[in-house]
Amino acid sequence: MGRRVSLFVTCIVDQLFPKVGMAMAEVLERIGYEVDFPEAQTCCGQPAFNTGYRAEAREVARHFLGVFRDAEYVVVPSGSCTSMITHHFAELFPKEPDMLAAAHALETRVWEFSKFLLEVAKVDDVGARLEEVVTFHDSCHALRELGIKQGPRRLLSHVQGLELREMDIPEECCGFGGTFSVKFPGISGGMARTKLDSIVRSGARAVVALDASCLMQIQGALSRAGLPIRTLHLAEVLASR
């Protein structure tokens, strides 16, 4: 396979945090990849899937598979969306052999951003520099479904000027959980406040994660508490020079 990647930027990045997508593209181009953005892309179908709307999720997944059918690699700035595509698309097509085959064929070419850098590009130093004290939040899907733990920390360790201070509960959920935060706002908010207390105890001035959805949840809690701590996607850190 060549040096061409297609970006799937996800709904939240596209609609709310476009700079994350641009940062990801910048890093990939810096290490020598040609970056393609298929404009017909929409959603991976995870919100519908997680809420029980399988028929709707199936149609979105069908569109996704058509858009990215010929991609050499699909790189995604989200553990949860990557997990949806690589772990759950197959569940949507038990009675459609052709679509099931298409889902399986694409699975091996879809990569979460940090895993792509380390396991495909074989790069752990992208020439980034950021004078900041950060802590790292392990997002649920990246950690538990994709097994991502040390990789992002390895990438952060090569950022010049950056200090990583671990939380005492880095693996604990931030409380977002997609529609969970809407259906159970009280529990979601409580989980966010627990996470916030851990962030404060770390002494970090910024929180880094792989998923913009987690960062949106955490940033909301930080803003409501009036704390001068910012959130950064890993791609934004690695794009810094």
What's the average model confidence in pLDDT over 104-123? Answer: 98
CA angle 172, 229, 177 (to 5 degrees): 35
- What is the span of the domain harbouring residue 172? 124-239
The average confidence (pLDDT) of the chain is 96
Among 50, 83, 118, residue at a domain's last position? 118
Residue 116 has pLDDT above 90, yes or no: yes
Residue whose pair of structure tokens reads 């290490």 in the numeric block: 31
The count of domains in the chain is 2
Distance of alpha carbon 75 from the chain centroid: 10
Rounded CA separation 87/146 (Å): 9
> Residue 135 forms beta bridges with which residues?
207
Same structural domain, 14 and 100: yes
What's the average model confidence in pLDDT over 188-209? Answer: 96
Same structural domain, 96 and 166: no
Give the CATH number, domain containing residue 157. Answer: 3.40.50
The sign of the dihedral angle between the CA atoms of 129, 135, 139, 140 is positive
pTM score, whole prediction: 0.95
State both tokens at 2.
Answer: 């060549």
Rounded CA separation 100/95 (Å): 8
Task: Please enumerate in sequence order all residues whose Cβ is within 8 A of that of 59, keeping only pairs 6 or more positions apart, or say none.
Answer: 45
Residue 2 has pLDDT above 70, yes or no: no
Query: With helix as H, strand as E and coil as C, how does 26-50 read?
Result: HHHHHCCCEEECCCCCCCCCHHHHH
Same structural domain, 104 and 35: yes
